[in-house]
Structure 1
Amino acid sequence: MNRICLCLPTDRACSATLAALHREAAYATEHHDVHVELLVLDSCDEATRAEHARVLAALPSVPRVRVHHLGEEPQRAFLRRVIERAGLPDADRFLDLMLPAGVSYGACTNRAFLLAAALGCRSVHRRDSDSAYQLHDGEPVFPVHHELPWLGRPAAEASAAVTRTDLDPALAGRPVSLAGASFIGELSVDIAEIRRLDETVYHDVVGLWAPAEWPDERRRDLVEESFTGAGTTPFTGDDSTLALVDPMRVDMCNVAFDRDVYERFPLSPATDTIGSDYFLLHLVHDATLPGILHNRHIENFHTPERRTDTGFHAYQLRFVKFLLSMLHLHRVYDRLAAEGPALLDEHQRLRTERVAGLLRESARLDRADNHWRLDRCDTAYRKLGGRYTEFAERLAPRRERLLAEAERDIEDYARLADAWPALVAAARHTAPGRGSG
């Protein structure tokens, strides 16, 4: 029987989401011959974590669904055992990359990947705590409907189950490596207020995530498309495409990967940086691995905490760090696109060492473009006034530190990628631990 990991990392109260996730797990077992390891990685405070434990304990027992609710201490204990078994030098450094003190969208998912390996799963299906399932005719619209059962199977076998195929026939023998959709509702990045205050400033700031050399027209097109997901039109019926899936069409709140993707390459462990968890979408596409793009989009919403002064400054910093990360990532994306199927070995699996090398090469780029990005951010935020000006003033003395962090983040990513095969191999022989921690 196929074993899958349905995963929710969270650092906020999300009792309703946990109950809904459990219903998706039950749906998966009702419609497919699978066993679901429902994994909740809980980084909340003790009181919130205890409430989550109460909610999960009260859920009805479902055959072939097993719930794992792990706080950070059980996660840390598991990681220590894995790192020790892997025999890696500088164990504390790797522990920091896997479970950093700051918020890391990539690191929390990397922990899910290793725990999925420990649990013997064939795929990981990720959801987010600030999102909800759409309803259609009163029933939840679960993405797992399209994610199973094709992951890991030859694309040719999935062609009869999708609405259409947009895939070179030469790729039909390659495994379906990804299934995903996007979201409807609010922007995925909480910057809609900037657009309401000054649309010109919004275009200036959002356009900074494009390469510096892009022409204005291409940059404008990117801005219009950025962070909008699938818009606001609700689900009315299933539609799916077998293709090389465009990374811009998938959100990490609504994605599933085959094990031969996440067991071969991790996500970036960068802290306080939005978008640090999207690299695998690019890697799967550029390596010419097939995927299924569907329309069971998840509803996105923003939690009130981001509107507080503390939440606002923290989130804007994550956005600026995302812009700075693009100096290095765009170079890697260009190289991935150029390499194409050469990124795969003779078994159609990702060449971990080759991709890690591309990351390492990008760390040596000149910082001039990022000086330019910070200059543009400073000007833009000051134009908005109020707390945006206050944020710009806080940002100014941190310039050199932020530039160094962007470079270090890509170096750390390469370091983790080098160690990833050993970590995955060790995780397969390591008990994940139990309890809410």
Structure 2
Amino acid sequence: MAKEFIVSGDSHVVEPVDLYKTRLPKNMRDQALWEEDTILEDPLVPGGHTQFRTVHTAGYEGWTVSRYRQFPGPTPDGLPSSILRDMDRDGVDATMLFPNLSFFALYTDIHERSIAHARVYNDWLAETYLPYANRIRPAAAIPTTDAADAVKEIERAVRLGLTALILPEIPQPFPYWAPEYEPIWEAAEANGLPIFIHVASGGVDSKAGTSATGSQVKGILTAMTMGTQELSGALLAGRTMGGGSTAAASPMRIIADLVSAGVCERHPNLMFNVIEFNAGWLANYMGSMDKAWRTGTGQDPHWWLGFWDEGVDPHDQKLMGRLFKINDRWPLPLKPSEYVKRNFRVQFADDKIAVLSRHITGVDTIYWGSDYPHAEGTFLGSQAVIEEQFADVPDVDRAKILGGNLAKIVGFDDSKKLAPVTPPPSPVVPPPA
């Protein structure tokens, strides 16, 4: 069992199936997200799942997933006592807590629907989890579709006792560089609230009848069908590429938007946390950001190119320009990478490259998280991941990445390490039929 105070930067609730059907204003309950449990008599494959949960909501109607099933032990159900039990089993002292299937309704293109779901969700968070804030910190959901209402919900969340915010990966209606979001940044900084931005959230098109054509789940559906296809060269190449750097495009865009729009310069105390994108890409990206804004070796700042118009004065050629002129026009006092180190934290789960790159990104810039209870996370295997990926890391760096960095951001007392618990036995996986 790891000796450090372990904080997971990524865990999820399991919402009651009828949370929104029973709590939304009565005139909006026909728009409520609700979930339906299905139990099969026989698994779809031998030894497979028999419990499923189907989402009913605009844009994701019919989206169905297996219930979270870990071996050994009970199925996670979202109750605080169950989360604490599972944290103890996994050797986790404290955790952040984010939405689960509520993501499908919290950040949609219909503001009234999104903000109504957010108010219900935030009330439920405060009622359910705040009594356990010494180990569990839920983040209040804030839609971006109306900045004024977002500010009101931020202030209401503070009154409820919530101490962190979660915003969507894909904001609507503008990208994060848009000045329309300035009131949100002001309110978050004024209240000392860190902002978390989680993968696979936002961009919901409520007019779509199914999520099958939505950008957020295309990758999941593609990976799902790969499991039964012939291992052709095209499939192997596509899966290998998908498991590589392509997932980094979205957090890179978020960081570029916020840094380049001057949000970090205007709000030096505002902390953005980018969740569940892993972090091995960060070192290269920080170098690339800075390189874009300086004239490097071999780059002639007076090099012209374009299309010459023979009938126009040489000094008035509209289609000619200096390729590297933009490099020296960065308008902010710090380099992009310096804003990243000061204003951003990037969470990873199983990413040894992120650990090895800590001397470039900064040890303070990254932290670990298990993604409990999702099937792609490290739950019940977290200690093995930590042992393997941090074996040669000095104690001071381990302590920061595994708990200290996030504890400082959200206020956990990292002096209170849990008593060691017996690790669970290895999962028992049924043999193939």
| Bigger radius of gyration among the two | 2
User: Which bracket does the TM-score occupy, shorter chain normalised?
Assistant: under 0.3
**TM-score normalised to structure 2 length:** 0.28
Query: Larger helix proportion, structure 1 or 2?
Result: 1
**TM-score normalised to structure 1 length:** 0.28
